Amino acid sequence: MNDYLTFLTSGIFPCGTLLLLPAAAGLGRLLYSPPATEEKNGSGRGFLLRFVLGLNLFYLISLILGVSGLMTGPLPGLLLFGTAAVELWHWLPWWRRNGNPPGAPPRHVIFWLLFIPAALFLAAPAITFPLGWDAHTYHLALPCRWHRDGFPAIYGDLPYSGFPGAAELLYWLLFRIDGIRGPGLLGWTAVMVTTFWLYDRIRSQAGTGTGLAAAVAFLAAPVTMMLLRETYVEPLLALNVLAAVELNAAATATTGNRRHYPLALGVLIGGAAALKLNGLLCGFAIVMWSGPQLISRRRQTAVAAATAMAVMLPFYLRPWLATGNPLFPFFATWFSSATALRYCSQYHYAMATAKFGVTGSGGLLAAPLLLAWAGNIFDGSYGWQLLLFLAGAFAIAGRKIVRHRPPAAFLAEAVLLLFYLGWFVTAQQARFLFPAFVLLILHVGKAGRRLTPRRRAWAALICGLLSLPQLPPPLEHSWKCWQYLGSKQIGLKDFIYTGTGPGYLTAADTMARITPPDAKILLLFDHRTLLYPRRVELGTPFFQPQLLTPPPPDASTLQRELATNGFTHLLLGLSPYHPDRLAQYAAAEQTVAEEIAQLAQSGRLQPIWQDEGFVLFRIVPSVPDRRSSCRHAVSNDRPERKFYLRMGDR
């Protein structure tokens, strides 16, 4: 197990992620050339726009490297280094003139004095071993599996592999260079870039105090803090939305960028859609925001649309060719008549809607307010500062209505409403509104210029105070991560065990000790696979369409399925911590659990280890003495009835 953990954390961290920043900006020069005013005053926002554009190109490059088999060679590192060198060469005039790259100190002195210590303190979760559930089931487990197989396959037992997956493909590239911590550092970089971007845009229009308050409100939001701890793609989506705002502002201010404007816009739209299915909503939002620039320019609109399709289609072509469904695992009834695929689609829709959110007209009206504090309803919250921004947005809209502004003046409100309605009718998890939260702050923050200096100062103070109450828990988490990083007594296994809970790490450690390297293991009722050093496939009924969906009618059928698919072991995960478990599927899981109990009683499954809610069985083709195998092969003397726990007892 120690060797496998060393493999996961090996690499030249954080070189890959650090190189990605100038490398992406270098690629972005193909799509955006800064206007003369930017070159003269050293504004950092043009560099950030190039970075986001280049990042979207790297999504496509990662896909090409993956499907061509070149991801496992030296080419990814050479590509990062080469494009980074090009961008650094363009920085030389800045260093020669004032010793600083665009947008760096001594500009924005007050901001940097506050921002740099905060950013470094909050970096601790990003530079430690990732602990989040979704990282171990999907965002990092999938790139590791691709790396093992050398190809970005669509796995029948892991429906997440059928998502568009642009971020996971880039994570694979970073994993090759930085190890398992690279993707987390990229997420941290995206959040910090967004923080500076919000500050700088709002500062330029409403003053330094307002910009600082907006940056604090954004960074201190519980959802933002959660995204700094986990490996999610929402910060990357927010970057695309902000880049679209910047791109349209640059196109409005100067005609110098018009030649590449439709190409750059298409890359941002297609890149957002390629990140995840919810990214389609971000793509529509970018189209709406860009409407004033496109409505009278048919040729540019056509170029932007063609570019967006060219960027996004390859990511939807993967699942389409493998399963017949470009939106796999969702909407299976549109594309397939296979029963297993339809059951799997229903399961994942239930996962998106059953656990979180509110319903009805009352919920539609109350959800924006509840998002300020009701984290248990929406799997996260935005803090009390959200109420201030909502009040500001309604005040701005009311002022426009009173002044009889034309419909075009309500563009920002229309985009925010699109985000909210799309979120309400799909999956009501707080983080899915993260790009809209960024737009809301930008929209309200810019309006601060209409306030008197005194009122603006009071608004900034209130915003800062409302951002403070929810800070202690995430700050405590960062502090504990720093304690681990600075401690010689706390080992990596201790850190992982504390962060992932009982059973999971112990099962992985046991698997490494008592199963052969060529073992093929079926995992039931727990979906985390990142730590397992053997080939592990998921078999939870309805979660995936490959096996046991629907559950086999009897134990003999279950045994035949295990034998037909070549499994040597079965790992039963009964951990009480399982955010993917759904009550409406408990009966089906109970059926499979009872069949496993029957196979164990008959000796066809030999329990070889059990602890902390996990049971590892060896699959026995034929056992002459079923009682001896079941009684004496267990590695610790637990009551035999432990194997026959009812699913509801977990």
Region of poorest pLDDT, from 154-163, 384-393, 448-457: 448-457
**pLDDT at residue 95, as a whole number:** 63
Long-range CB pairs of 120-125, under 8 A, 24+ apart, other chains included: 121/475, 121/478, 121/482, 122/188, 122/219, 122/225, 122/228, 122/474, 122/478, 123/185, 123/188, 124/478, 124/479, 124/481, 124/482, 124/485, 125/184, 125/188, 125/228, 125/229, 125/477, 125/478, 125/481
**Kind of pairing, strands 569-573 and 614-619?**
antiparallel
* Phi, then psi, of 517 in degrees rounded to 5: -60, -30
Reported as a pLDDT band with limits 50, 70 and 90, residue 106 is: low
Q: Quick: pLDDT tens for 268-286.
A: 999 999 999 999 999 999 9
Q: Which two tokens stand for residue 364?
A: 């539609």
Asked if residue 137 has pLDDT above 70, the reply is yes
Q: Tell me, what's the pLDDT at 636?
A: 43
CA distance 311 to 302: 14
Q: How many Å apart are CA 299 and CA 311, to the nearest integer?
A: 18
The per-residue pLDDT for range 407-419, each reduced to its tens digit, is 889 999 999 999 9
**DSSP category for residue 536:** E
pLDDT for 46? 85
- Joined tokens for residue 556: 């003999």
pLDDT at res. 45: 84
pLDDT for 355-365, tens place per residue? 899 999 999 99
pLDDT at 122: 97
How does residue 640 score in pLDDT terms, banded at 50, 70 and 90? Answer: very low
CA nearest neighbour of 71 among 165, 184, 148, 183: 148
Query: Average pLDDT of 321-342?
Result: 93
pLDDT of residue 35: 60
Do 167 and 160 contact (CB within 8 A), yes or no? Answer: no
The arithmetic mean of pLDDT across residues 53-73, rounded, is: 95
**pLDDT band with cut points at 50, 70 and 90 for residue 97:** low
Lowest mean pLDDT among 233-247, 286-300, 595-609: 286-300
pLDDT (mean) for 244-267: 82
Instruction: Quote the tokens at residue 416.
Output: 């925010």
Residue 584 DSSP one-character state? G
Q: What is the mean pLDDT of residues 179-194?
A: 96
Q: What is the spatial order of strands in the sheet that 535-538 belongs to?
A: 535-538, 520-524, 569-573, 614-619, 605-611
The C-alpha angle 534, 6, 156, rounded to 5 degrees, equals: 30
Q: What is the pTM of this model?
A: 0.92
Q: In the predicted model, what is the mean pLDDT of residues 148-166?
A: 95
| Tokens of residue 26, six digits | 């270098």
> Mean per-residue pLDDT for 502-518?
95
pLDDT score recorded for residue 373: 94
What proportion of the chain, given as a percentage, has pLDDT over 90? 78
Mean pLDDT of 73-82: 91
Reported as a single tens digit per residue, the pLDDT across 308-331 is 999 999 999 999 999 999 999 999
Region 76-94: mean pLDDT is 85
**Given this model, what pLDDT does residue 630 score?**
38
Residue 638 has a pLDDT of: 37
What local confidence, expressed as pLDDT, does residue 100 receive? 54
The pLDDT, as a whole number, for residue 258 is 67
- Residue 580 pLDDT level (bands cut at 50, 70, 90): confident
At residue 639, the pLDDT reads 34
Query: What pLDDT, on a 0 to 100 scale, did the predictor assign at position 296?
Result: 75
Give me the chain's average pLDDT, please: 89
Residue 429: its pLDDT value, please?
95
